[in-house]
Structure 1
Amino acid sequence: MAELRFDRVNVRYGGRRTGHVAVRDIDLVVPDGAVVGLVGESGSGKSTLARAAVGLAPVTAGSITLDGRDLLRSRRGPRPVQMVFQNPYSSLDPRMTVGESVAEALPRHDRRVRSSGTAEVARLLDLVGLGGDRAGALPGELSGGQRQRVALARALAARPEVLVADEITSALDVSVQGAVVNLVRELQQELGTTMLFISHNLAVVRYVSDYVAVMRRGELLEVGSADVVLSTPEHPYTRELLESVPVLDAVVPSAEAHP
């Protein structure tokens, strides 16, 4: 079991009078082995909620639990929730090789894994489709898509129970976005990892997610199965998001139609 649960979670930056509430009273469940797509416009609080789950944002009220374990109080040992960040160009140390970055995340308490570190790094790099022979490469020698694969391998190296993917394709060229999304979907299906997948791209969310949650201005507006929310949304804002998605015209007028 690896059910991630947010109960009445609030995140506030600054003082009580002059501060800003980035996330307000969020109730959200990411079921065991499922992918929940979290969507919303920029500034809606998606990334703040993700950072709260991994201890990078201050939770001022509420609780975040994993199978009943309080993640806000537990700070010892390996982190059961790992995050893949948006920008692959800043998430890796440019002075460390690919292999060193992945090996650094291997569980220190697992002697078997640590003793076979080189082989485990190669296995993880193969798993994300990069190839173990790239372990000696530096991040500067890789493309954005390749760096994001390394970031995925590094997150998986920590043996997480939950993976949080925060806009992991938005900083990539369109030509490689599809390959990374396909990789994420294949890895989730193969490993059965519980995942919170954050994106503003509804087409991507529809492709990878079992459930969809919609946020706006720090609040959760709608949650449900991906098919229902993206086909028959209840909240007006969700309908606005869907209507804003570009659609190619099925019929292109001929030149004769415009004398």
Structure 2
Amino acid sequence: MSELRFDQVTVRYGVGRHAMTAVDTVDLTVPSGQVVGLVGESGSGKSTLARAAVGLTEPSAGQILLNGKPLKYRTGQRRPLQMVFQDPYSSLDPRMTIGSTIAEALSGFPGNRAEEVVRLLGLVGLEAERARSYPGALSGGQRQRVAIARALAGRPDVIIADEITSALDVSIQGSVLNLVRSLQRELQLSMLFISHNLAVVRYMSDLIAVMYLGRIVEFGPAEQILGDPQHTYTQELLAAVPRRSQ
């Protein structure tokens, strides 16, 4: 288990008058073995923060720390943070079999890679035979399970899940969320779970961070944020969640 911390992280795009601040001096901690739900509407900076964490975007200021040490990504080394993206189809190479896709992420694995691929497929609820399939032969839910297996193949300290059910049919979103929550508990992973859907964040998270215009405007235990929101934006998000009719 590992702690992920964002320390005054800022991400800007462009220069001069055309510069845009997507993430603005964010302080946020994902405690060891817990799930932090990061919620906010589209354009709030959630995905930019996630991309900065996994090295896809360079912070303009601040630092990102894992267990108190600045994260540094070097070619050929294990990546301690793994990300599961929103669209499972675009994140998988359509020319590679599922088995090859997962095996590729097993760089440095000391054992039998074929056996490990089968084990990982089983972890995400897929049959061993799926290793020979191509992404185009799978449903959206199955492809997202493959993406999760590939992330786990990297033996990560922290998983970042970015809107992982928003591209899926409503009928299968629940099963994927149940899988992720079960794996997080079983493997004792630290997780940053990103969604614009407060109902989903409520289901998944120990702690909730609310992001608005690039800033974290509220953070705390899930029951506290949901039961007694202090920021106007959080109150508006809660008011927009559909309620069951009596």
TM-score where L is the length of structure 1: 0.93
**Amino acid aligned to 1:247:** R
Q: Which moved more, 1:73-82 or 1:149-158?
A: 73-82
**Amino acid aligned to 1:75:** R
Query: Distance between the aligned counterparts of 2:117 and 2:229, measured in 1?
Result: 43
> Residue 133 of structure 1: CA displacement?
1.7
Match for residue 139 of structure 2 among 138, 143, 161:
143
Question: Who is 1:49 aligned against?
Answer: 49
| Secondary structure class of the residue paired with 1:223 | strand
> Residue 103 of structure 1: CA displacement?
0.3
Task: Mark the CA change 1:150 to 1:74 in structure 2 (over 3 Å): closer, same or farther.
Answer: closer
Q: Deviations over 1:77-119 (max 9, x none)?
A: 11100000000110000010000000000032x3x23xx0000
Question: Who is 2:178 aligned against?
Answer: 182
| Secondary structure class of the residue paired with 1:91 | coil
Contact 1:54 1:83 (8 Å CA) reproduced = yes
**Amino acid aligned to 2:129:** D
Matches within 5 A, 1:71-90: 71=71, 73-76=72-75, 77-90=77-90
> Residue 57 of structure 1: CA displacement?
1.2
Q: Deviations over 1:200-239 (max 9, x none)?
A: 1111111110000000110110000011101111111101
> Residue 249 of structure 1: CA displacement?
1.9
Query: Distance between the aligned counterparts of 1:105 and 1:74, measured in 2?
Result: 15
Question: Who is 1:2 aligned against?
Answer: 2
**Amino acid aligned to 2:100:** E
| Secondary structure class of the residue paired with 1:135 | helix
Matches within 5 A, 1:1-259: 1-71=1-71, 73-76=72-75, 77-108=77-108, 110=109, 112-113=110-111, 116-250=112-246
Following TM superposition, the consecutive aligned residue runs of length 4 or more in structure 1 with deviations greater than 6 angstroms are: none
Q: Deviations over 1:11-52 (max 9, x none)?
A: 001113211100000000000000000000000000000000
TM-score where L is the length of structure 2: 0.98
**Amino acid aligned to 1:245:** V
Query: Distance between the aligned counterparts of 2:26 and 2:43, measured in 1?
Result: 15
Bigger radius of gyration, 1 or 2?
A: 1
Query: Distance between the aligned counterparts of 1:137 and 1:96, measured in 2?
Result: 9
Listed as ranges, the gaps of 5+ residues in structure 1 are 251-259
Listed as ranges, the gaps of 5+ residues in structure 2 are none
Contact 2:55 2:73 (8 Å CA) reproduced = no
Give % identity. 63
What's the C-alpha RMSD, in Å, of the aligned pairs?
0.9
Question: Who is 1:253 aligned against?
Answer: none
Q: Across the two proteins, how many residue pairs are aligned to each other? A: 245
> Residue 248 of structure 1: CA displacement?
2.7
| Secondary structure class of the residue paired with 1:21 | strand
Contact 1:35 1:209 (8 Å CA) reproduced = yes
